Amino acid sequence: MSRVTAFLATALAAVVSLAVLVNSASAQQRSTALEGVRNWAYQLKDVSQEKIDKIIASPFDMIIIDSSMFPGGKEVRLTREQVESMKKKPDGSRRLVVAYFSAGECESFRSYWKKEWDKHHPAWVYKADRDWKGDYIVKYWNPDWRKIIYGTPDSLIDNILAAGFDGISIDRVDAYYYFGDTEERRLQMIDLIKGISSYMRAKKPDSVILAQNAEELLDHADYLAAIDGIAKEDLLFGISHKERRNPQGDIEHSTKLLDAARKQGKVIFVIEYLKSKANIAEARRYMKEHDFVLYVGQRDLYELSGVVGAEDGTAEK
């Protein structure tokens, strides 16, 4: 081996080692930030300066919030100043501010939606979501939809990064259910999440990445590596959208997958939509037993849910 070749090989090895160290340090930073979250909340609807002020005054360690306001029905993205203002808790400690967006649905009230699409939907739109007006299930594997999410100066992720958010919470990761829940559709969603994760971490290595539901994907190592935590809805109650306990088989199946991810260092956040004090108490006991972080909220997520509970990281009214 010539001296030049030896030098280049040594230099390349040093670069690779440095990259590994940087990635490892960033992963540790993300893990440390999430492990410190003992209480959290959602603010997804009706975001306004008044709601932002309530977040600032709240004791929550993490807030997941829409990255835009909609005064008069027109999208206005949150500014970096607004995002930064939410990062400081009343006691002076740090709050994580995480932006919400959907990977499996589009929304006709977003700025990326073109007027002509009201009558003639683009090829990547599948059908309307009957539960949410203005929402459409998308063919999330379509390259044109991916371009809306990331990779261009005006993409969703690029705007979220520009506003200074600590990370993202990705909704509708389980959209593969709308397409027959085949292995192919699951793998296509995993590919999308991996693409989002790689893009964000390349630009901001300490970006926190949470995935909503879709715990069935957690047995894929590459998917698990692409995220830092899970936000799980209706683990114990409410899969019928009524405050009833879920079938025991469903609870055990989801809990087993979430427990395994927790053992791999992923932080598990659970939201239950509850009013009954007995159900809230049961949820608190269950989450504490499994080291999951509970939030009790309203299903429409228009308002923060009362005050933070005890040190176990729960919240209650």
Q: What pLDDT sits at residue 26?
A: 77
Q: What pLDDT sits at residue 19?
A: 46
In a domain, 109, yes or no: yes
In a domain, 4, yes or no: no
Q: pLDDT digit string (tens) for 93-152? A: 999 999 999 999 999 999 999 999 999 999 999 999 998 999 999 999 999 999 999 999
Residues of the chain with pLDDT under 70: 1-25, 306-317
Q: What pLDDT sits at residue 30?
A: 78
Q: What pLDDT sits at residue 23?
A: 56
In a domain, 121, yes or no: yes
Q: What pLDDT sits at residue 305?
A: 82
In a domain, 18, yes or no: no
Q: What pLDDT sits at residue 79?
A: 99
Q: Are 220 and 258 in contact (CB under 8 A)?
A: no
Expressed as residue numbers, the domain containing 134 is 36-316
In a domain, 3, yes or no: no
In a domain, 197, yes or no: yes
In a domain, 27, yes or no: no
Burial letters for 262-283: b for 16+ Cβ neighbours within 10 Å, e otherwise? Answer: beeebbbbbbbbbeeeebbebb
**Domain count of the chain?**
1
Total-model pTM: 0.89
CATH assignment at residue 226: 3.20.20.70
In a domain, 228, yes or no: yes
Please tell me the distance from the alpha carbon of residue 262 to that of residue 142, in angstroms, as a whole number: 32
Q: What pLDDT sits at residue 178?
A: 98
Q: What pLDDT sits at residue 312?
A: 43
Nearest CA to 160 out of 226, 223, 97, 70 is that of 97
